[in-house]
Chain A
């Protein structure tokens, strides 16, 4: 956990994690990030948590279009095409 000028600090790393997970970091930067993770339990946990958040929300809520509006537009479609 020593800080060299060319090494990432934790406060810098946390801003890069989504770019990293999205594969948007340049290679050299990604290697620096991984190098930091090798020795930093705090950042490793932080990365795990962001990954957990990203992968856990599927289907959390659904916004339902009101039934009568739905049926209305579908009926309008039928009328406009066949009427």
Chain B
């Protein structure tokens, strides 16, 4: 694998001892690094220390970096190892994929929102369906709903929170997230799906944007339509 052109220039500057280049790297990645570290350790202070320790390891290791992964992936792998060791004793050396497995199996949407699968005509269809949000023109982050979203993300299980923060808040690609966290693409999508759904649910609750379908009325309407068609055919 050839080295990414951005990495090549940056790496050259770092190896020459260019402190500005190092500052650029620190400023570019530290926010996301704190998010990742928080997946492994219980407190913000421990996460910050893990990031600090990672930067020290990066400056010591930079001459030996061979470019088999991107510089970014390499940095986040170091961070994962540092943060794992800094985590609670019982979770030490638990990789991210194991954290991710802890919240498997939860449906994206409350099953009570749908008719039971064995309903003769409408099994598995919406009973309480979502309706459009009165989103402010400037977008979801402009109004009060911003706090609702922030609270929802803060309350997510660690693995979901980390994935949605990297993908949607930091704007990483799915490949970057998979590489940095060493999870499969499928696993990444499951975590992202659950996380986005919890946020969607929180916004829906805030707006009260649901509509309960009256299936008796729907059935009556369909019966009417059928009767009319039959009359028309005669």
Contact = CB atoms under 8 A, between A and B. Distances in A.
Contacts of A60: 141, 146, 149-150, 153, 169
Contacts of A18: 189, 192-193, 196
A80 B51 contact: no
Contact of A49 (B130, B193, B213): B130
B117 interface: yes
A45 B210 CA distance: 11
A50 B199 CA distance: 9
A59 to B, nearest CB: 7
Interface stretch (B53-61, B65-73, B223-231): B53-61
A54 B196 contact: yes
Interface residues of A, number: 49
Interface in B170-201: 171, 174, 185-186, 189, 192-193, 196-197, 199-200
A56 to B, nearest CB: 4
Nearest to A18: B193
Given A49-B204, A65-B34, A76-B59, A58 B171 contact: yes
17 contacts: A3-B123, A3-B124, A11-B117, A14-B109, A17-B193, A19-B189, A22-B192, A48-B132, A50-B200, A61-B165, A65-B30, A69-B48, A69-B52, A70-B27, A73-B22, A74-B23, A77-B22
B226 to A, nearest CB: 13
A18 to B, nearest CB: 4
B108 interface: yes
A10 B200 contact: no
Given A24-B189, A73-B26, A3 B52 contact: no
